[in-house]
Structure 1
Amino acid sequence: MTLKYLALSGLVAISTISNTVQADTGHRELRKKYQKTLIADSVALKAPHNWFNLDFTDNKVLGVSTEKAYERLQNRTSRTVVVAIVDSGVDIKHEDLQGIIWVNPKEVAENGVDDDKNGYVDDINGWSFLGGKNGQNVKDDTYELTRQYARLRKEFENKKKIKRKQKEEYAQYQKIKADYEKEVKDAQAQAADFQKFYDTFKQAESIVQKHLGKTDFTPSQVEAINSSDMRVMKAKALLQYAYENNLEEEIKNAAEHFDYVLKIGLNPDFDPRSIVGDKYDDINDKYYGNNDVIGPDADHGTHVAGIVAANRRNNLGIKGVADNVKIMVVRAVPNGDERDKDVANAIYYAVNNGAQVINMSFGKSYTSNKEAVDAAMKYAESKGVLLVHGAGNDGENLDQAANFPSRTLKNGQTLQNWLEIGATAWENNEKFVANFSNYGKQSVDVFAPGVDIYSLGPNQIYQEHSGTSMASPVTAGVAALLFSYFPELTAVQVRDIILKSSVKYPDLQVVKPGLYQKKEPGLVPFGSLSITGGIVNADEAVKMAEQLSAQK
């Protein structure tokens, strides 16, 4: 769960310009502050198109050398590998995914019959655990913290005497309540700061409108303004800065963010689960949902799917990492925190229907039923399915901070089929690591490209996103490539190859991730941020797989 709005401090910095839009020095300082905090500004220059597939030696960018890997593989044949995208939904109609979407071979489309008797009717391209039988879908849900607070509040809020057997749970309630109230307070403060910025921005617009004598104007018309009125010139400077940094889009995103956080994410009275209609408290209830794998908001999942598998041969859009895969769509992640029951059932569904790799670009700081998710992940391990998980975007050390799901089970066991992925940018300098990426010398396995990744969006669009949500499917794509060209490999072997073949930069000094640190973050060795100290590399992985294959 990330409640902070990632670009907010840059937006709010503008509001330090007074209500009369003054102080040029403030403008220069806010630019510096904004560039240090905006998630997309982990790199100073524009990332090359398709950079995540490129190679440092050939292209001078720190991609995963996908194109070089395919040059090495040109004399090998491949088999189709199924990759499950457990996410918000995928636009299966996108032009760059045609022929790439998994089709259930045992199911007859839209006949209302569970032909393959797997418990899911008409699951042609996957399944949604966020839908109801009547076709409705959950789009927004609360944070896990909010759900736990709501549950425990109902139990303890008006109790005057706590029974001895309830003391442990009551102590948990006290902690959850304190955490929840802090998040509410922080969100309200951020929303108020954003409103200050918005008011300042609108005032600058008003000043320029009055000066130009028109309500609508273009950036070039603003640039041409020359006035002896300092208020006008400072309003011009603010608007130009907004244009240069695409702040109009950030305003829209911030408004939507705070509207969601305060009305839904942190609202203990909001509960959309009736839409699904399952027996929510019964963890063994698996057969619920619907077959709408696109859902009401497939932006995130479509972007993720494109990174793994966008058609490499159709001369459209982008090239995904893997060239012979089918994408199975499993919808289990709303706008908000995913529910453990849905995650567990999504994993079972993917494994039972033939997925060999499961990408999980989601996570949260609290869990309500870790045992259920642990059991599903152990099941995947027993069936030889690789789990690839994004480390998260809070700039935190996962050796110290909670993040679920994770490879460490509640009983202390560690999964052997798990990859935890941090995010890197494309420049070979101190900004090499994405400033938003979680990290951890004992917790994060390896890093992969995750900044300014150009991929797919719903309704035939292409767009850039940044996050460990992007680094995870880059890695899942490399894993699928290995499974495809070296079918004798096990999930544990593929994981081992990806880690051992990663390109190591142990001593490269990088800015320590942490968007929300009050002090300027210092430089640390890249090798201190993950277990391997490396970046995923497809070409090196193929070389190692060839060597292993030759030994058999």
Structure 2
Amino acid sequence: MNIIKSKGLLIFTLCIPFFQLKAQLIKNTAKENIADWYNLSADQDGVYGADVNKAYQFLKDKAIKKKPVVAIIGFGLDTEHEDLKQAVWLNPNEKADGKDNDKNGWADDLHGWNFLGNTKGEMVDAISKVGDREFLRLRSKYEGIFWTGQNYVRFDDALNKPVKVTIPVDKAEFDYFKLLRGESQAAAASNTYQFAKFMKYYLLNDFDQEIKKTYPDDSKITAKEFRKIKIEENGQTDSVKMVAHMFLTSFMGTANPTGGPNQQPTTLDKFKENIIKTFPNRKEKYDNALAAIVDGRKAIEDNPNDVNQKNYGNGNLSTSSSFSSTMCAGIIAAARDNQLGVNGIAPNAELMSLRIYPKTGEIYYKDLALAIRYAVDQKADVILLGAPNSIYPPNEAKWVNDALLYASSKGILVVSPVLDLSKDLSKQSFYPNKNISAENELSNFLTVAASDSTGMPLKDGNFGKKELDVYAPGVNVSSTYMGSTYRKGTGSMLAAANVAGVAALIKAYYPQFTGTQLRSLIVGNVTLRDNVEVEKETFVKDRKVTDLFLFNELCVSGGILNAYKAILAADALSKQKQ
């Protein structure tokens, strides 16, 4: 790796992905390549930044009325960074003495809290994925169960045949369990292994008998003949048997039955032999997938299923994966005009760090719920969430939704990035989001995707006309990095940091506004791009394609974050209330 440190900017010639942020080479050769171009504006600079510099021109004669607190729920924070240490939040009621001085359940929480640690001060970097945890939780109830169209069946290994499931099946929970195949390699491997039992059974019994009855004189058959055998029974089709027949037809005639159809004739005995040979491999893949589920949660020594239990974790915030949240912190609150690195949007903000994201794996929702409540109880004004997830276990979802409602009741703005997966959010949901229930939509929850300096959306960012609120600078944006260095990155997380910074800027001068009002001020006052035609990646029948959209088809606001317009609107609204 070639690393050059120059004028406080750390330049990497190797692209390293992290939390969907992609490192880029820094070139300050034009206005659109200025490291912190999010401060610029389209009308004055020809760059689709967030109009922050213009906002400061308007605010220059106004007094700051509050030092807003921004809680970054993420990977931790480099609290000693040269451009951030003046902005790190300090718990006014806590001391570094090993005691819980403020009686909030967390000892020595001076600058926030690390929920992925233990009382010995150790860090936990690797935890499991939500999909794996949910599969392990539910597999004793639903593993190996399939729906025939008439009955639920499971293969009985002792009887060596399919049997009807006699225990009651919760259909909604069972359907949820089936979805885990796309979220957990272990769940997918289990499904393949369990279904292979049915295929093997039908091949050696029902299909074998039908082949011999239909083609008694043929010593060799092809997929064409195999496809024609009868699979109905008493005028009804068993969907499990039908799918088994379909797969076996595709394997028919292949020397190694793991590929597509092959019309070369084979004997039925040879085909059965080849299929049976693959069976141990499926079991081995399943066992390996189970063994690969690694979870360091045990080292934390808490009960992850008890959201009321605290007294776990520690106050160590700087971890090997803290760079993502440190970059967000710089955009929000790096000192302005100090000849170091970048100019943050709201340098008077105080940064509270709440670590719940591991280096590998996915969050525990208990940690997220408690982190949100911690931020609310410690009087945060803005909460910046990390990456959402496609799995939201119902019992754990209630913990988080209740915490979000608590934040809403206290007037706190919650900012959430989308994932950069090219997904249409009207077709696939990620969690948490503003829809607490069919009847309850959070008015203080703001979703953000990344745009570039030319005003175009990040091609692979998720989008949704009703689900995504606003775009913000998040492509080739430079910010603070670990060890008092700086790096440029790309991703919707950085865009969300821009929105959190602008919200903090508004709050610093107009502290009376609630989270709901802040959201309205930001979403309702953007650099409009509503009729601009843009290219975006999306999915059509599970195939990624590039399509054309109007900007207003991609988000609620139809535009890009504009601090200047939001500040003007806040100023006007504040005068109306006087």
| TM-score normalised by L of structure 1 | 0.74
Q: Does 1:504 align with 2:528?
A: yes
Are the counterparts in 2 of residues 147 and 268 from structure 1 also a CA contact under 8 Å?
no
Are the counterparts in 1 of residues 471 and 561 from structure 2 also a CA contact under 8 Å?
yes
Residues 307 and 265 of structure 1: is their aligned pair in 2 closer, same or farther, counting only changes over 3 Å? Answer: farther
Residues 273 and 182 of structure 1: is their aligned pair in 2 closer, same or farther, counting only changes over 3 Å? Answer: closer
Q: Does 1:145 align with 2:128?
A: no
Q: Kindly, what percent of the aligned residue pairs are identical?
A: 33
Aligned match of 1:241 = none
In the TM superposition, residue 410 of structure 1 has moved relative to its aligned partner by 3.6
Residue number among 158, 166, 169 corresponding to 2:173 in the alignment: 169
Are the counterparts in 2 of residues 307 and 477 from structure 1 also a CA contact under 8 Å?
yes
Q: How does 1:127-526 map to 2 (within 5 A)?
A: 127-157=113-143, 160=156, 161=165, 163-177=167-181, 179-181=183-185, 269-335=293-359, 336-368=361-393, 369-410=396-437, 412-428=439-455, 432-514=456-538, 518=543, 520-526=545-551
Counterpart residue identity of residue 163, structure 1: I
Aligned match of 2:554 = 529
Q: Does 1:549 align with 2:574?
A: yes
> How many aligned residue pairs are there?
436
In the TM superposition, residue 287 of structure 1 has moved relative to its aligned partner by 3.2
Q: Distance in 2 between matches of 1:515 and 1:309?
A: 37
Are the counterparts in 1 of residues 50 and 560 from structure 2 also a CA contact under 8 Å?
yes
My pick for the range that moved more, 283-292 or 346-355, is: 283-292
Counterpart residue identity of residue 70, structure 2: V
In the TM superposition, residue 157 of structure 1 has moved relative to its aligned partner by 3.4
My pick for the range that moved more, 82-91 or 262-271, is: 262-271
Q: Distance in 2 between matches of 1:276 and 1:513?
A: 40
Are the counterparts in 1 of residues 385 and 417 from structure 2 also a CA contact under 8 Å?
yes
Q: Distance in 1 between matches of 2:407 and 2:380?
A: 10
In the TM superposition, residue 470 of structure 1 has moved relative to its aligned partner by 0.5
In the TM superposition, residue 513 of structure 1 has moved relative to its aligned partner by 3.1
Are the counterparts in 2 of residues 337 and 363 from structure 1 also a CA contact under 8 Å?
no
Q: Does 1:538 align with 2:525?
A: no
Q: Distance in 2 between matches of 1:275 and 1:38?
A: 29
Aligned match of 1:86 = 73
Higher strand share: 2
Q: Distance in 2 between matches of 1:505 and 1:265?
A: 47
In the TM superposition, residue 162 of structure 1 has moved relative to its aligned partner by 5.2
In the TM superposition, residue 176 of structure 1 has moved relative to its aligned partner by 1.6
Aligned match of 1:22 = none
In the TM superposition, residue 183 of structure 1 has moved relative to its aligned partner by 9.4
In the TM superposition, residue 519 of structure 1 has moved relative to its aligned partner by 5.9
Per-residue CA deviations over 1:293-346 (Å, capped at 9, x if unaligned) read 223321111111111111114221101111311000111111332111111000
Q: Distance in 2 between matches of 1:467 and 1:504?
A: 21
In the TM superposition, residue 150 of structure 1 has moved relative to its aligned partner by 2.4
Aligned match of 1:27 = none
Are the counterparts in 2 of residues 142 and 266 from structure 1 also a CA contact under 8 Å?
no
Are the counterparts in 2 of residues 40 and 451 from structure 1 also a CA contact under 8 Å?
no
Q: Does 1:60 align with 2:60?
A: no
In the TM superposition, residue 271 of structure 1 has moved relative to its aligned partner by 1.6
Aligned match of 2:102 = 116
Q: Distance in 2 between matches of 1:280 and 1:66?
A: 42
In the TM superposition, residue 550 of structure 1 has moved relative to its aligned partner by 1.7
Matched position secondary structure for 2:318: coil
Q: Distance in 1 between matches of 2:291 and 2:481?
A: 29
My pick for the range that moved more, 121-130 or 148-157, is: 148-157
Residues 162 and 284 of structure 1: is their aligned pair in 2 closer, same or farther, counting only changes over 3 Å? Answer: farther
Matched position secondary structure for 1:512: strand
Counterpart residue identity of residue 525, structure 1: L
In the TM superposition, residue 184 of structure 1 has moved relative to its aligned partner by 6.9
In the TM superposition, residue 504 of structure 1 has moved relative to its aligned partner by 1.2
Residues 134 and 72 of structure 1: is their aligned pair in 2 closer, same or farther, counting only changes over 3 Å? Answer: same
Per-residue CA deviations over 1:99-151 (Å, capped at 9, x if unaligned) read 10001111112x11111111110110011111111111121222212221222
Q: Does 1:50 align with 2:36?
A: yes
Q: Distance in 2 between matches of 1:264 and 1:136?
A: 29
Are the counterparts in 1 of residues 181 and 187 from structure 2 also a CA contact under 8 Å?
no
Q: Distance in 2 between matches of 1:520 and 1:276?
A: 43
Q: Distance in 2 between matches of 1:519 and 1:165?
A: 36
Counterpart residue identity of residue 418, structure 1: F
Higher helix share: 1
In the TM superposition, residue 173 of structure 1 has moved relative to its aligned partner by 2.3
Are the counterparts in 2 of residues 55 and 63 from structure 1 also a CA contact under 8 Å?
yes
Are the counterparts in 1 of residues 530 and 551 from structure 2 also a CA contact under 8 Å?
yes
Counterpart residue identity of residue 455, structure 1: S
In the TM superposition, residue 457 of structure 1 has moved relative to its aligned partner by 1.2
Residues 263 and 322 of structure 1: is their aligned pair in 2 closer, same or farther, counting only changes over 3 Å? Answer: farther
Aligned match of 1:9 = none
Q: Distance in 1 between matches of 2:68 and 2:477?
A: 23
My pick for the range that moved more, 127-136 or 373-382, is: 127-136
Q: Distance in 2 between matches of 1:295 and 1:65?
A: 33
Q: Distance in 2 between matches of 1:321 and 1:169?
A: 45
Aligned match of 1:240 = none
Counterpart residue identity of residue 506, structure 1: D
Structure 2: runs of 5+ lacking an equivalent: 1-19, 145-153, 157-164, 190-285
Counterpart residue identity of residue 473, structure 1: A
Q: Does 1:107 align with 2:94?
A: yes
My pick for the range that moved more, 175-184 or 321-330, is: 175-184
Matched position secondary structure for 1:503: strand
In the TM superposition, residue 181 of structure 1 has moved relative to its aligned partner by 4.5
In the TM superposition, residue 165 of structure 1 has moved relative to its aligned partner by 4.6
My pick for the range that moved more, 146-155 or 510-519, is: 510-519
Structure 1: runs of 5+ lacking an equivalent: 1-36, 186-261
Q: Distance in 2 between matches of 1:532 and 1:284?
A: 38
Per-residue CA deviations over 1:201-239 (Å, capped at 9, x if unaligned) read xxxxxxxxxxxxxxxxxxxxxxxxxxxxxxxxxxxxxxx
Are the counterparts in 2 of residues 365 and 403 from structure 1 also a CA contact under 8 Å?
yes
Q: Distance in 2 between matches of 1:363 and 1:264?
A: 28
